[in-house]
Amino acid sequence: MSYSSQFSRPLLLAASLVLLTTGFISAQGPGQRPPSPVVVAEVVKRPVITGQTFIGTVTPVKTASVGSAVDGRIADFPVNEGDFVEKGQPLAQLLTATITLEHEAAVHELSLREEELKELENGSRPEEVRRAQAAMAAAKASREYHQKKRDRADELYARNAINNDELQLVVAEQIQAEQEYLQAVEAYELIVAGPRQEQIAQARAQVAIRRAIANRLADQIEKHTIRAPFDGFISAEHTELGQWVNRGELVADVLALGEVDIESYVPEQYITYIHKGQQVSVEIPALPDQLFTGIVEVVIPQADTRSRTFPVKIRVTNQINDNEPLIKSGMMARVYLPTGNRQETLLVPKDAVVLGGPQKMVYAITPGEKDKPASVRPVPVQIGVADGTLLQVSGELNPGDQVVVRGNERLRPGQPVAVSEVLPTPSASSEGATSANSAAEELNAEQPNAGQ
């Protein structure tokens, strides 16, 4: 191969790359960025229960006003309003010096009584038995000696060798030796038998009494430490360091905000459509970038007789970031509750709704033409009730339209996009299927001759 041909091949390759690059740029147009990859889902049309928006108020799931169980002076108050506390964490500590000394004395007294009980339960030691046996043997020998001495004295007295006083002295010594022997026998038998069951029972009762006293004092010491009843936030302080508190006097208020309830009031004509366990959408105006999903937790069956409205509580899982609750107690909320019969309506995935602006909207896909890529157009929407993972919307959308569910937070109107994935359409929720079956059963009941 010639030198000129070897040199011309790299030039041809470079020229080809330049032509390809120029063609790609001209196809895109000058200054245009490549299409943004997005994930889309189709707009579906299904029968769902119609709903309305109701105003509600965020309330804690649990609230506790924690008080002191004993009288005392505050020695430590480590919490402040707004602090996050865990269950069992000390809120305040009362002085415990005197009662601690009483508890120590009770513990030592309990130990003494327990050792006395062990001594009785263990019975006599072998050394004690042998000592009693030896004492009994000595008493027996003494008795035998004095018995022989008396027999000899009786013989001498019969021969008038000793007088009556001398005989009586020997008799007295013999009787004393006999009684000492009997006493030694009884002592030996008691040692062998061990303590009486009544003594052991009395010792056990003394141990129980002392244990109860020690436990009572320990409980009193524990009550001098005032603890949080559950995980939550301090909403109010009712005492200060060094202050005297009486039994039952409040120390602090604790709110549980891991989950919150949205309390709303529903007119009586709609309450029959609302049931425990329904999934609903929740908006909080103070958090415009968030859309929450709640579960109907309580439908209180007692209406306000003046307004004819029933209290309904919707449970929402809160977000706690760095011990700071996202949803705070007392915030206003809007809840979308079912209030009517099932109607055909448009549904989109919840992730398709873009929040935070002056108007909720979705980005719909406008198909591309010829060499132009697909683009997006913003569609303002009003949201309604939830149906599983889908959300009811109303706006300029049609069934089958594709809306962006991932990547929509960075889009701009008219921006070119490339669809990287189309998510499958979720099936109808079990609640919706149940409602549809119930509606069909009611319809058949109203028309018993429809099949004839």
Q: Model confidence over 23-36: pLDDT tens digits?
A: 433 444 555 578 88
Contact (Cβ atoms closer than 8 angstroms) between residue 411 and residue 376: yes
Strand order in the sheet with 90-94: 225-227, 90-94, 72-76, 244-245
Q: Give strand pairing partners of 362.
A: 379
As given in the structure block, the two tokens for residue 375 are 């683009």
Question: Distance (Å, rounded) from C-alpha 448 to C-alpha 418?
Answer: 54
Q: Which pLDDT score, from 0 to 100, does residue 433 have?
A: 38
**Residue in 436, 440, 420 with CA at minimum distance from that of residue 428:** 436
Q: Which pLDDT score, from 0 to 100, does residue 32 have?
A: 59
pLDDT in tens for each of the 452 residues of the chain? 433 343 344 434 344 433 333 443 344 455 557 888 999 999 999 888 778 899 999 999 999 999 999 999 999 999 999 999 999 999 999 999 999 999 999 999 999 999 999 988 888 888 988 999 999 999 999 999 999 999 999 999 898 888 999 999 999 999 999 999 999 999 988 888 888 899 899 999 999 999 999 999 999 999 999 999 999 999 999 999 999 999 999 999 999 999 999 999 999 999 999 999 998 989 999 998 888 989 999 999 999 999 999 999 999 999 998 889 999 999 999 999 988 878 888 999 988 998 877 788 999 999 888 778 889 999 999 888 777 788 888 889 999 999 999 988 888 888 899 888 999 888 765 444 333 333 333 333 433 333 33
Ranges of beta strands (E only) in 329-400 are 332-349, 361-366, 374-387, 390-395
Q: Residue 12, SS3? A: helix
Q: Which pLDDT score, from 0 to 100, does residue 92 have?
A: 95
Q: Which pLDDT score, from 0 to 100, does residue 429 have?
A: 59
Q: Which pLDDT score, from 0 to 100, does residue 428 have?
A: 66
Residues 6+ apart with CB under 8 A from 225: 90, 92, 93, 94
Q: Which pLDDT score, from 0 to 100, does residue 26 have?
A: 40
Q: Which pLDDT score, from 0 to 100, does residue 438 have?
A: 38
Question: Distance (Å, rounded) from C-alpha 109 to C-alpha 45?
Answer: 80
Q: Which pLDDT score, from 0 to 100, does residue 427 have?
A: 73
What is the residue type of 290?
Q
Q: Which pLDDT score, from 0 to 100, does residue 409 have?
A: 82
- Residue for token digits 């039994």? 247
- HSE-CB at 406 with a 13 A cutoff on CA atoms is 11
Contact (Cβ atoms closer than 8 angstroms) between residue 217 and residue 191: no
Question: Distance (Å, rounded) from C-alpha 419 to C-alpha 123?
Answer: 91
Distance of CA 6 to the CA centre of its chain: 78
Other CB atoms within a 10 A radius of the CB of residue 170 amount to: 19
Tens digit of each residue's pLDDT (9 = 90 or more) over 186-223: 998 888 888 889 989 999 999 999 999 999 999 999 99
